[in-house]
């Protein structure tokens, strides 16, 4: 349970907010690279941390991330012409380069001094791993890019999707660090879903619904061990990585299924981007896997055409099927791992009121993640914030059987390291 003040601190990320300042210290996954593909791409609107931005590539392929609105009369640059190394406003032709400089002011007298004084807010951006990353913080504090494992892989080895979630980022992210709900919300689909099935671990997940949590601080955030009974000698451990400020890596479901994870990025305080990725460290996806990934199985979704919004949504009760619920084809009656999560998360209200919750021992990781986020607010200018060092994000999650007497940090020490060319560890 949080106080109202704590809940506000954690959930508000617009310009000028404390958490907004913290989040602006990190690189932000913002767009699929193909959304602004090729030189002189179509300009695309993107909202992040409450700021309305326009994204494009210029004629040289450089990425521009600018304030969406022209400095002149505040018309949207979405209507702009992207041509000859700059985005030109459709209203009076003012043109901006990728750094926000006004490079042409064709409505004003030739040689006007005014041009040099005009500069749009602009953010640095890079492409990595098929994603455009944006940095919205102080120029002198720009960290290196995160080194999430999939970023360095070939496209054939990874699948990245994003969807809009109609809730604050925090309740979405809390789902990602909560191993406990898997035994319930996804219970009847673990063995169905083509990206989760066929693994020994599912047996334990179903048999023991009362995981014991052991959580320790990692360099980047938290290392979350959720322990379930396996057999007389062993525990089944699902070990989740949470890295500041918004990354979660899902403990794998066998080594034949890909490893997966999420980034939970605020669009504004009421909506967020749920980035979802799967990858194989040592092989390409097979055809059937690709069908499943593209078809919206696993942690991915089916979209409304032309959008990143799932078809299953609040207005259609997420296509709930009470028959499927009764027949134990789905725990909540909702189809799909992803929709099973976000339906529940969105039902908490657009910003979950945490003054009303009643947390248990299984919420230990959530409690500690909030605490670590709040603690980071104390020293928002620090260069040692968890998650800033690329090594902090270059980690794996794992699921393992360990002898009961072995501490999980010890038993999984190797498994949670990224070892290029070697597959991850999972049973």
How many CB atoms within 10 Å of residue 191? 13
Which one of 108, 127, 147, 329 is in contact with a copy of itself (CB under 8 A)? Answer: 108
> Which residue has 């968890």 as its token pair?
386
Residue 351 touching a copy of itself (CB under 8 A):
no
Residue 107 touching a copy of itself (CB under 8 A):
yes
What does DSSP assign to residue 181? G
CB 116 to a copy of itself: min, Å: 12
Compute the distance between CA of residue 45 and CA of residue 251 in angstroms, rounded to an integer.
34
Residue 352 touching a copy of itself (CB under 8 A):
yes
Residue 59 touching a copy of itself (CB under 8 A):
no
Angle 215-168-263 (CA atoms, 0-180°, nearest 5)?
Answer: 55
- Closest CB to a copy of itself among residues 234, 325: 325
How many CB atoms within 10 Å of residue 104? 16
Query: Residue 209: in which H helix or E strand, if any?
Result: none
What is the per-residue binding string for a copy of itself in 233-272, x denoting contact by CB under 8 A? ----------------------------------------
- Site residues for a copy of itself, 202-221, by CB under 8 A, read 209-212
Number of residues that bind a copy of itself (CB under 8 A): 62
Q: Which stretch binds a copy of itself (CB under 8 A): 158-166, 214-222, 314-322, 414-422?
A: 314-322
- Closest CB to a copy of itself among residues 117, 154: 117
3-class state of residue 315 by DSSP? helix
What is the per-residue binding string for a copy of itself in 163-192, x denoting contact by CB under 8 A? -----------x-----xx-xxx-------
Chain centre distance of CA 181: 19
Q: Which stretch binds a copy of itself (CB under 8 A): 64-72, 142-150, 245-253, 385-393?
A: 64-72
Residue 350 touching a copy of itself (CB under 8 A):
no
Residue 113 touching a copy of itself (CB under 8 A):
no
CB 98 to a copy of itself: min, Å: 19
Which one of 92, 141, 203, 302 is in contact with a copy of itself (CB under 8 A)? Answer: 92
Which one of 278, 343, 394, 426 is in contact with a copy of itself (CB under 8 A)? Answer: 343
User: Does residue 118 contact residue 71 with C-beta atoms inside 8 Å?
Assistant: yes
CB 378 to a copy of itself: min, Å: 26
- Closest CB to a copy of itself among residues 360, 421: 360
Backbone angles phi, psi at 51, to 5 degrees: -100, 130
Residue 303 touching a copy of itself (CB under 8 A):
no
Residues in a beta bridge with 276 = 161, 262
What DSSP line would sit under 213-268, residue for residue?
Answer: EEEEE-SSEEEEEEEEE-SSSEEEEEEEEEETTTEEEEPPSTTTSPEEEEEEEESS
End-to-end CA distance of the chain: 35
Which one of 344, 368, 416, 427 is in contact with a copy of itself (CB under 8 A)? Answer: 344
Q: Which stretch binds a copy of itself (CB under 8 A): 104-112, 227-235, 288-296, 378-386?
A: 104-112
Which one of 112, 283, 294, 382 is in contact with a copy of itself (CB under 8 A)? Answer: 112
What DSSP line would sit under 90-106, residue for residue?
Answer: TTT--EE-TTSBEEE-T
Compute the distance between CA of residue 51 and CA of residue 193 in angstroms, rounded to an integer.
37
Residue 340 touching a copy of itself (CB under 8 A):
yes
**Non-local CB neighbours of 399 within 8 Å, separated by 6+ positions:** 201, 236, 237, 238, 239, 251, 252, 253, 425, 426, 427
Which one of 90, 324, 377, 406 is in contact with a copy of itself (CB under 8 A)? Answer: 90
3-class state of residue 345 by DSSP? helix
User: Exposed (0-12), middle (13-18) or buried (19+): which is 34, by Cβ within 10 Å?
Assistant: exposed
Residue 79 touching a copy of itself (CB under 8 A):
yes
Residue 50 touching a copy of itself (CB under 8 A):
no
> Which residue has 């360099």 as its token pair?
219
Residue 93 touching a copy of itself (CB under 8 A):
yes
> Which residue has 């035994």 as its token pair?
183
For the beta sheet containing 81-82, the strands, ordered from the edge strand earlier in sequence to the opposite edge, are: 81-82, 87-88, 95-96, 102-104
- Closest CB to a copy of itself among residues 18, 171: 171
- Closest CB to a copy of itself among residues 149, 174: 174
Contact positions vs a copy of itself (CB under 8 A): 42, 69, 71-76, 78-81, 89-93, 105-110, 112, 114, 118, 174, 180-181, 183-185, 209-212, 317, 320, 322, 325, 331-334, 340, 343-345, 347-349, 352-354, 356-363
């Amino acid at each position: 349970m949080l106080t109202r003040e704590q809940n506000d601190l954690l959930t508000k990320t617009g310009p000028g907010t404390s958490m907004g300042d913290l989040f602006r210290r990190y690189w932000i996954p913002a767009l699929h690279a193909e959304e602004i593909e090729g030189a002189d791409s179509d300009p695309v609107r993107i909202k992040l941390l409450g700021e309305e931005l326009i994204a494009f590539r210029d004629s040289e392929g450089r990425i521009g991330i600018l304030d969406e609105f022209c400095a002149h009369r505040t018309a949207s640059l979405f209507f702009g012409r992207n041509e000859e190394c700059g985005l030109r406003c459709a209203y009076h032709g003012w043109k901006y380069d990728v750094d926000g400089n006004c490079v042409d002011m064709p409505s004003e007298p030739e040689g006007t001094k005014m041009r040099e004084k005009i500069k749009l807010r602009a953010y640095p951006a890079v492409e990595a791993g098929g994603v455009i990353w944006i940095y919205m913080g102080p120029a002198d504090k720009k960290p290196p890019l995160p080194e999430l494992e999939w970023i360095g892989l070939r496209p054939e080895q990874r699948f990245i999707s994003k969807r809009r979630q109609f809730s604050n980022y925090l309740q979405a992210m809390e789902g990602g660090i909560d191993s406990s709900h898997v035994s319930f919300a996804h219970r009847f689909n673990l063995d169905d879903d083509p990206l989760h099935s066929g693994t020994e671990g599912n047996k334990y997940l179903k048999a023991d619904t009362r995981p014991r949590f052991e959580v320790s601080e990692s360099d980047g955030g938290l290392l979350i061990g959720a322990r379930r009974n396996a057999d007389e000698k062993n525990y089944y451990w699902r070990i989740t990585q949470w890295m500041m400020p918004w990354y979660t890596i899902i403990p794998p479901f066998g080594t034949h299924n890909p490893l997966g994870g999420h980034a939970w990025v605020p669009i504004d305080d009421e909506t967020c981007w749920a980035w979802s990725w799967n990858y194989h460290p040592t092989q390409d996806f097979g055809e059937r896997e690709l069908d499943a990934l593209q078809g919206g199985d696993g942690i991915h979704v089916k979209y409304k055409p032309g959008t990143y919004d799932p078809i299953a949504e609040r207005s259609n009760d997420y296509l709930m099927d009470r028959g499927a619920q009764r027949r134990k084809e789905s725990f909540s009656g909702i189809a799909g791992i992803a929709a099973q999560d976000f339906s529940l998360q969105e039902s908490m209200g657009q910003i979950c009121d945490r003054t009303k919750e009643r947390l248990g021992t299984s919420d230990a990781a959530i409690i500690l993640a909030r605490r670590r986020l709040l603690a980071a607010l104390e020293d928002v200018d620090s260069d040692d914030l968890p998650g800033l060092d690329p090594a902090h994000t270059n980690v794996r999650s794992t699921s393992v059987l360990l002898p009961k007497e072995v501490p999980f940090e010890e038993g999984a020490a190797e498994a949670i390291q990224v070892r290029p060319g070697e597959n991850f560890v999972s049973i």
